[in-house]
Amino acid sequence: MVFVHRLFPTPVMVAEEIWALASEGRLLSDLVRTLVRAMAAFALAMVLGTALGIVLGRQAFLDRLFSSWLVVGLNLPAIVVAIVLYIWLGLTETALIAGVMINKVPLVIVTIREGVRSFSAEYEELGLALRLGFRRRLATIYWPQLLPFVLAAARTGLSLIWKIVLVFEVLGSDGGVGYRVSLMFQFFDVTGILAYTAAFIIVVLAFEYGVLRPLEGRARAWRRPA
């Protein structure tokens, strides 16, 4: 019975473990460290990927030149990137964040590039007919067309980043959810692992419903209800 409880804890046991870990302060500090890493990598990947996606979407020559590299980037195993960066840069925050970012950037580039390619020629013509300056065209014509793609890139990217950050923390880190889970793995502490996992999922859901969905709702307010 003891064996069964250790490997298959009940939800109540997991909840109690979450409470205990949170009371100690360790859970929160690990969650914060992981979140900071994920958010830093996410922000860098979104900014860099959006800029590069716009360039490749507008410049066919550059797109042809780099499209093969993009395919390589999309299919590069995350673990290889992590190991190589840890060797080159050491077990540092920079290596971890750069590794996560490198894994995410190609996905953002591809999504944004498709968004730019789908820009309406009719709206472009309207902008010219109304003599709209670049900043007004950006705000009223380009950005609203690009926003659904940015949100799609954010959503798919975040789901990817949540996972990769934890793997990278397992590989080489001195704190964070992934690091703590790897320690618990060594002691077969399934209750602790599930407690950390559940806490992490609660944070992800809070971000989904607290940030992403309201943003999407505002961005899609003008659409015809389905």
Q: What is the binding site for other proteins (CB under 8 A)?
A: 122-123, 125-126, 128-132, 136, 140-141, 144, 222-224
The Cα-based distances of 89 to 102, 162, 198 in angstroms read: 14, 22, 32
* Closest distance to other proteins from the beta carbon of 131 (Å): 4
CA neighbor of 207 nearest in space, from 25, 11, 14, 31: 31
120 burial via Cβ count (<10 Å: 0-12, 13-18, 19+): exposed
Residue 140 or 182 having the CB closest to other proteins: 140
Residue 90 or 214 having the CB closest to other proteins: 214
* Closest distance to other proteins from the beta carbon of 62 (Å): 24
Residue 45 or 116 having the CB closest to other proteins: 116
Sign of the torsion formed by the C-alpha atoms of 90, 94, 96 and 101: negative
CA–CA separation, 104 and 162 (whole Å) = 11
* Closest distance to other proteins from the beta carbon of 226 (Å): 12
* Closest distance to other proteins from the beta carbon of 114 (Å): 19
Residue 142 or 179 having the CB closest to other proteins: 142
Residue 134 or 224 having the CB closest to other proteins: 224
* Closest distance to other proteins from the beta carbon of 61 (Å): 21
Q: Are 91 and 32 in contact (CB under 8 A)?
A: no
